[in-house]
A and B are shown apart, each in its own frame.
Chain A
Amino acid sequence: MRRVLKHCILPGLFACIFAGVLFAQGPGTLVFGLSGNPDTLDPQKTAGTLTFQVVKSFYDTLVEPDQSGKIVPALAESWSVSPDGLTWTFRLRRDVVFHNGQQFTSKDVKATLDRIVDEKTASPKRSEFSAIKEIRTPDAYTVVLSLSQPYAPLLASLASGWGAILPSDLIASGHNFAAEPVGTGPFKFEKWIRDSRISMTRNDKYWIKGLPKLAKVEFQIVPERAVQVQGLGVGSIDALEFVDPDDLPILQSNPKVTIKKELTSLIMVMAMNCSREPLNDLRVRQAVNYAIDKQVVLDVAYGGGKIGSTFLDTGNAYYTDFSNLYPYNPEKAKQLLKDAGVGNREFTITVPQNYPLHVKAAELMQQMLAKVGMNVKLQLVDWSTWLSSVYSGGNYDFTVIGHTGKLDPDGTLAGYGAGRYVKWYNATVDAKIKEATTISDFAARKKLYTDALEIMANEVPFVYIGTSYRYVGTRSNVFDFRMTPNLDTFDFRWTEMR
């Protein structure tokens, strides 16, 4: 009896305890430093990047961009478009379940798309889906979209965060997705303590076998930059999406921190109000462009990057370089300002104060404009004022902002040439951008966009500062943390902690 105890039970017990400890720790918890609170966790009720960055882990989309930016199957295992571009057929995966246990079928796709186009949802992205005339579900795993006109950017919208598929039964019961997301994604929502943290645990039934590798991800909401950097340095934070270039020296000297440099898909601009005197004069806008040393602004304010020359991110497949048009030339700027008779007129750069990098860029550009004799002052406003007064109201002279990249160029360009916040009107540009949405062929689309972008590069409703680098900081034991190209969302599926 004693021998049995000694040889079988005790080692067995130890083995159990040991296994229990291993299992409890799992493959690891990743703590991610998030710079702010998402406004909501409902992907169809916001345009906020923070929301999409977080909900990317809770939801899947029919199709998704791979690491090169190409759109590949996700919840739909394949799709086809009819030759006239009016009928899109998606074949769905059969092995997907929602976090609440419901099987994923075509019903969910229809309910989700209906929810987006429903005016009551008030989705800011609703117009991207307005070409959909009818949604049919011939069987549980087939969805057929009929469009009222060919609309190529639809695929990109379906691949974006706002195309996230929600479960139909919860949509029907009016579930509060804003506070408690339920999807098919790699992680299940656990808790959101506002201004503190959002935690999520692995979805063991995720449809890509073997993924995700992490047991848990916790978003710590840390708005203070110095605290983020310290956290990464001492290990209380495992990964940061964005390290300010000024903080790089501290982190680079730390052997336990790895910094990865990537080109973002941001389009940093100083927008000009083209309907205002004297900015409606092309010569003045050209002068402003000549006066700004874009590389210096990128290096000092944004931590380096590639200078831009038209209204698209420089890494985009549709981008064409026009940087020979307005190189840095303060003398030419002075001459143009003199010709246009600008004199000592006062201009204001209105900047949202919650974006310190834009404020920094604005301070730099103010000095550069002062050097060519322009009288420019700076005004900081809060984000809601910026949105209502500058972006919607068009009530400004200059403003500095970054446009986030989009999977489809139409997401960036739609509406330009017909006003938008720069109040710049050009019928040719407007027509070309509209026409490009009806064509699926890449080369033909690129031709149209290049024509439009060339006019925008010449007429400069903006100073196209360029596309900045992003420094992603992780602890050295974190591997394969990915950012989705163009969408800048976090992808923890392959991430591992060793």
Chain B
Amino acid sequence: MVLRKTRRILFSLASLYLLVLVALAIAAPLVSPYSPTEQFLDRRFHPPGPTNFLGTDNFGRDILTRIIYGSRSALVVGIVTVSVALLLGGAVGLIAGMGPPAIDSALMLLMDSVLSFPTILLAITIVSFMGYGLVQVMLALGIISSPIFARLIRAETLSIKTEGYIEASRALGTGPVKIVFRHIIPNIMSKVIVQCSLTFAQAVVIESSLSFLGVGIQPPAASWGLMLKDARNYLVQAPWMAIYPGLCLALTVLSFNIIGDSLSERFNPRLNDLV
């Protein structure tokens, strides 16, 4: 019981944090005290204080402002990555699950080969081909994350399509496309949503990693990874440059993971109602 209560509190806290983050991201120009790229060279390395709540960086830019604007890139990357991965992976998964075995094997072989590359390495390779930048990062992450969706959706499709009601529907003459949209998609939605939240968290981390490595979002745009990259050189004299963006990144990923876990428990019939 206690465990369940803690989980519920964690879920609420995580949701609240994300809601605030989304609200800040949307209202960034209204709530930010400064412009994210404006440099105040007479105010470099100011510690957190009344004029700059979270301090300033090596160009005298306001860290709070840059974190708020950075949340925009993080959320946009998350949303677009998940959408691309879902569309691409979903299509592949459904075709593989519903189609003839030959196509199934071919598609899954392709997806497995994508999955066999180390994530960051593959992301860097794709980004190097397409050029550095936000759009390229999102596309690369979308492509990389699609096999997880493809495998999940294929597996679910395969198991659902042998259910009695699908057989019945097919016997009544319903076409495969209609079966997919009417029966299969609604039935796999819960698991897909859980996967979405996990992929979202992963995308935020990888975007930060790529920006940290210098192949992601380009300066002077604000991104948490980029802020950490700048901060790396000033860890001793200006630790706040690293602490706050790092904290935001960690909390965001943690929140998505908590939400993913909670949803997965809630949707799982075997765990539900029995405790």
Pair count A-B, CB < 8 A = 54
Asked whether any CB of chain B lies closer than 8 Å to the CB of A342, the reply is: no
Q: Looking at the assembled complex, report how far the CB atom of A232 sits from the nearest CB atom of chain B, in whole angstroms.
A: 12
Among A131-139, A171-179, A360-368, the stretch in contact with B: A360-368
Contact check, A226 vs B233: say whether CB atoms are below 8 A apart.
yes
Give chain B residues whose Cβ lies under 8 Å from the Cβ of A379.
132, 218
Q: How far is the CA of A88 from the CA of B79 in the complex (A)?
A: 71
Mask for A364-404, Cβ within 8 A of B = 1, else 0?
10110000000001111100000000000000000000000
Contact check, B219 vs A380: say whether CB atoms are below 8 A apart.
yes
Among B170-178, B234-242, B266-274, the stretch in contact with A: B234-242
Give chain B residues whose Cβ lies under 8 Å from the Cβ of A380.
132, 214, 218-219
Asked whether any CB of chain A lies closer than 8 Å to the CB of B264, the reply is: no
Asked whether any CB of chain A lies closer than 8 Å to the CB of B232, the reply is: yes
Q: Looking at the assembled complex, report how far the CB atom of B216 sits from the nearest CB atom of chain A, in whole angstroms.
A: 10
Contact check, A226 vs B236: say whether CB atoms are below 8 A apart.
yes
Q: Which single member of B38, B45, B59, B236 contacts A229 (CB below 8 Å)? A: B236
Q: Looking at the assembled complex, report how far the CB atom of A300 sits from the nearest CB atom of chain B, in whole angstroms.
A: 6
Q: How far is the CA of A229 from the CA of B39 in the complex (A)?
A: 26
Q: Looking at the assembled complex, report how far the CB atom of B35 sits from the nearest CB atom of chain A, in whole angstroms.
A: 10
Contact check, B237 vs A249: say whether CB atoms are below 8 A apart.
yes
Asked whether any CB of chain A lies closer than 8 Å to the CB of B52, the reply is: no
Contact check, B220 vs A363: say whether CB atoms are below 8 A apart.
yes
Contact check, A250 vs B44: say whether CB atoms are below 8 A apart.
no
Interface residues of B in 219-272 (CB under 8 A from A): 219-220, 232-237
Q: Looking at the assembled complex, report how far the CB atom of B55 sits from the nearest CB atom of chain A, in whole angstroms.
A: 15
Give chain B residues whose Cβ lies under 8 Å from the Cβ of A300.
41, 44, 59
Contact check, B234 vs A246: say whether CB atoms are below 8 A apart.
yes
Q: How far is the CA of A378 from the CA of B45 in the complex (A)?
A: 23
Give chain B residues whose Cβ lies under 8 Å from the Cβ of A366.
220
Binding site secondary structure of chain A: helix
Give chain A residues whose Cβ lies under 8 Å from the Cβ of B132.
379-381
Q: How far is the CA of A404 from the CA of B220 in the complex (A)?
A: 27
Q: How far is the CA of A377 from the CA of B134 in the complex (A)?
A: 14
Asked whether any CB of chain A lies closer than 8 Å to the CB of B37, the reply is: yes
Asked whether any CB of chain A lies closer than 8 Å to the CB of B58, the reply is: yes
Contact check, A359 vs B41: say whether CB atoms are below 8 A apart.
no
Asked whether any CB of chain B lies closer than 8 Å to the CB of A39, the reply is: no
Q: Looking at the assembled complex, report how far the CB atom of A385 sits from the nearest CB atom of chain B, in whole angstroms.
A: 9
Q: How far is the CA of A378 from the CA of B37 in the complex (A)?
A: 12
Contact check, B233 vs A356: say whether CB atoms are below 8 A apart.
yes
Q: Which single member of B39, B232, B233 contacts A367 (CB below 8 Å)? A: B39
Which residue in chain A gives the minimum CB-CB distance to B220? A363
Q: How far is the CA of A224 from the CA of B275 in the complex (A)?
A: 52
Q: Which single member of B41, B214, B232, B235 contacts A296 (CB below 8 Å)? A: B41
Q: How far is the CA of A244 from the CA of B45 in the complex (A)?
A: 15
Asked whether any CB of chain B lies closer than 8 Å to the CB of A149, the reply is: no
Q: Looking at the assembled complex, report how far the CB atom of B82 sits from the nearest CB atom of chain A, in whole angstroms.
A: 27
Q: How far is the CA of A378 from the CA of B214 in the complex (A)?
A: 12
Mask for A223-260, Cβ within 8 A of B = 1, else 0?
01110011000000000000010110110000000000
Give chain B residues whose Cβ lies under 8 Å from the Cβ of A250.
236-237
Which residue in chain B gives the minimum CB-CB distance to A363? B220
Q: How far is the CA of A364 from the CA of B44 in the complex (A)?
A: 13
Q: How far is the CA of A246 from the CA of B233 in the complex (A)?
A: 9
Q: How far is the CA of A300 from the CA of B38 in the complex (A)?
A: 15
Known: A226-B236, A246-B58, A247-B237. A378 touches B41 (CB 8 A): no
Asked whether any CB of chain B lies closer than 8 Å to the CB of A275, the reply is: no
Q: Which single member of B38, B39, B220 contacts A378 (CB below 8 Å)? A: B220
Which residue in chain B gives the minimum CB-CB distance to A366? B220
Asked whether any CB of chain B lies closer than 8 Å to the CB of A353, the reply is: yes
Give chain B residues whose Cβ lies under 8 Å from the Cβ of A364.
39, 41, 59
Known: A296-B41, A380-B132. A226 touches B220 (CB 8 A): no
Contact check, A359 vs B219: say whether CB atoms are below 8 A apart.
yes
Which residue in chain A gives the minimum CB-CB distance to B37? A367
Mask for B26-58, Cβ within 8 A of A = 1, else 0?
000000000001110100110000000000001
Q: How far is the CA of A250 from the CA of B41 in the complex (A)?
A: 20
Contact check, B59 vs A363: say whether CB atoms are below 8 A apart.
yes
Q: How far is the CA of A302 from the CA of B82 in the complex (A)?
A: 42
Give chain B residues whose Cβ lies under 8 Å from the Cβ of A226.
232-236
Q: How far is the CA of A16 from the CA of B245 in the complex (A)?
A: 61
Which residue in chain B gives the minimum CB-CB distance to A244? B233
Q: Looking at the assembled complex, report how far the CB atom of A71 sits from the nearest CB atom of chain B, in whole angstroms.
A: 38
Contact check, B218 vs A360: say whether CB atoms are below 8 A apart.
no
Contact check, A363 vs B232: say whether CB atoms are below 8 A apart.
no
Q: How far is the CA of A356 from the CA of B230 in the complex (A)?
A: 9
Give chain B residues whose Cβ lies under 8 Å from the Cβ of A377.
218
Give chain B residues whose Cβ lies under 8 Å from the Cβ of A353.
214
Q: Looking at the assembled complex, report how far the CB atom of B34 sits from the nearest CB atom of chain A, in whole angstroms.
A: 13
Q: Looking at the assembled complex, report how far the CB atom of A64 sits from the nearest CB atom of chain B, in whole angstroms.
A: 35
Mask for B52-91, Cβ within 8 A of A = 1, else 0?
0000001100000000000000000000000000000000
Which residue in chain A gives the minimum CB-CB distance to B214? A353
A-B contact pairs, 13 of them (CB 8 A): A226-B232, A226-B235, A226-B236, A229-B236, A230-B236, A246-B58, A353-B214, A360-B59, A366-B220, A367-B37, A367-B39, A367-B220, A381-B132
Given contacts A247-B233, A247-B237, list 12 more A-B pairs with CB under 8 A: A225-B232, A226-B233, A226-B236, A246-B234, A247-B236, A250-B237, A359-B219, A367-B38, A379-B132, A379-B218, A380-B218, A380-B219
- B residues near A (Cβ < 8 Å) are 37-39, 41, 44-45, 58-59, 132, 214, 218-220, 232-237
Closest 6 CB pairs of A and B: A353-B214, A225-B233, A363-B220, A367-B39, A226-B235, A250-B236
